Structure 1
Amino acid sequence: MEQGNDTEISEFILLGLSEEPEVHSLIFGLFLSMYLITRFGNLLIILAVGSASHLHTPMYFFLANLSFVDICFTSTTIPKMLWNIQVQGKTITYAGCISQIFFFNVFGFLENLLLTVMAYDHFLAICHPLHYTVIMNPRLCGLLVMVSWLISVLNSLLQSLMLLQLSFCTGMEIPHFFCEINQVVGHACSDTFLNDMVMYFGIVILGCPPVAGVLYSYFKIVSSICRISSAIGKYKAFSTCASHLSVVSLFYSTVLGVYLGSAATQSSHSGAIASVMYTVVTPMLNPFIYSLRNRDIYRTLKRIVGVLVLYVPITLGLKKCP
């Protein structure tokens, strides 16, 4: 891309979470552990939903998609961060930065939409149980996921194409451990008015309705639960959406905490540290929340882990035989 000063930028510098070399090994070990736990936990969720026939329901179909998105979401940022620490470098190519922004926005916004779809699914299951199986048929479930993907990809594609129109100065330093779009746009040398408008438009038009949908769904759910006379009925109804409510609360509280906190402190570095919560910690905790608070998932995972524990020693024993 031609720049205003006739220079072409080829790479950005990611300053990371800390510039102290003695802390890098600790960060590497911590993030590698969290990344492996995230991948393994979410893969187990996908395997459980796919292998157990009694989990072939809309709720678990959406859960499996959410687990896949969590794996992809963390894979857009953590591997590059770990690689930079391992090779003691801080650079990321221009193409790599744009690609990271694209996929980060796709999977980040897709998680938001899937949480909204799951809230709608719980709303129908609790507030309209007699019509639930008719409304939430496989065709509608697939359509909801497909539309979520389409909206997320188109939104991210627009953001990335707008980003390609900007000019950047050489040696640009990003005070983050990945290419965050606000940080990149904020360091551009050219006018960013259109980019800012597109970002704000995306937040207002595409971000606020899902949040409003989640709030409305749970308002109706709570109202329906309160009208249930028996305590057992209330408990069963609440247990149906308890895991999803925990994930929704964790996701939105961390996202809002990061952006409101960074706006209040005006510190990019503190915002980078805080963003670890929703980019790494939340996807890692989601499998634990669903497996520990959901008996069906817990029992299926227990059976799968038991099979794996038996399979590995048997396989190793067969390999030792001549």
Structure 2
Amino acid sequence: MMAGPLSDFRKAISKLSRIDKNSADAARARDAVLTKPAGALGQLETLAIWLSGWQGKHPPSYDHPQVVIFAANHGVCDQGISAFPQEVTLQMVGNFESGGAAINQLALAFGASFSVTSLELDNPTKDFTKAPAMDETECANALSTGWNAVDENTDILVVGEMGIGNTTVAAALSAAIFGGRGTDWAGPGTGVSSEGIQHKAKVIDDGLLRHKDILDDPLKILQCLGGREIAAMVGSILAARQKHIPVLLDGFVATAAAAVLYKANPESLDHCIAAHVSAEPGHGKLLKAIDKEPLLSLSMRLGEGSGAALALGIIKGAVATHNGMASFADAGISGEKAD
């Protein structure tokens, strides 16, 4: 255990809460007697069992879905890695707050609470090619912000982000955690050209070289190459684990946050489902690295939790069918004859 501001988070990662096997078994037993052939509802069946186990109760619920968005700016944008200026982060926060973004519509459509938290938008992280993006205290504060954003009553959580330049940061984190060079992970992000992608890759390589001495420590990787909104997502995902709340992972940036936890403890994402695979090239590779199969593949690449929020509809369907269907006995149907 390393002393310092990150020590509490290291301890939490090493002492994870576990799935409630009794609740999962109860869900499995109910699924076996519902009026359908075994396996006929496919992943809806496994999702209901997963939900029940991680919520620690049976039947599972979809009463308090929560969407939390974090926004921050990045010093590495000084390297010209984005098609948009950093002012857009603040402008999009205003759009979230007024209800005008895609994520607002999706949260509303699926009955989720919504919040957006800005993390020092007027104080970007440092350029990671020249210095650690954050010091330990800044990183720990962002982790704590994410942790505290998770409501105790939440029964399914979506974490999302907004931050100009953060696909470069996510690619740098991915390369630091799973290996490779910038060219293996850099993508178009908000729409940069092929030349822009090559430039992003070089910037990532510069960051990896600058911080080569800490690449065996996931939380130091987060501190040196990450961002405040990404650290906040890490904190939220870890808090959800300790509070027995299942999580839907969004796109490339959110999955890069989750990968920090996976690198620290491969069991730390057992309470998470990959909601979708985005059009950002590194995302599919990152999902394979953390051993997650996406529920959806719709060529989305917006971020802000949108793909995960869309998957809330699937979760709602899984809960509705599991909890509401009749059993063979209730319906007076012979299970042996059902096909």
Q: If the length of structure 2 is used for normalisation, what is the TM-score?
A: 0.27
The structure whose residues are more often strand, as a share, is 2
Q: If the length of structure 1 is used for normalisation, what is the TM-score?
A: 0.28
Structure 1 or 2, whichever has the larger Rg, is 1
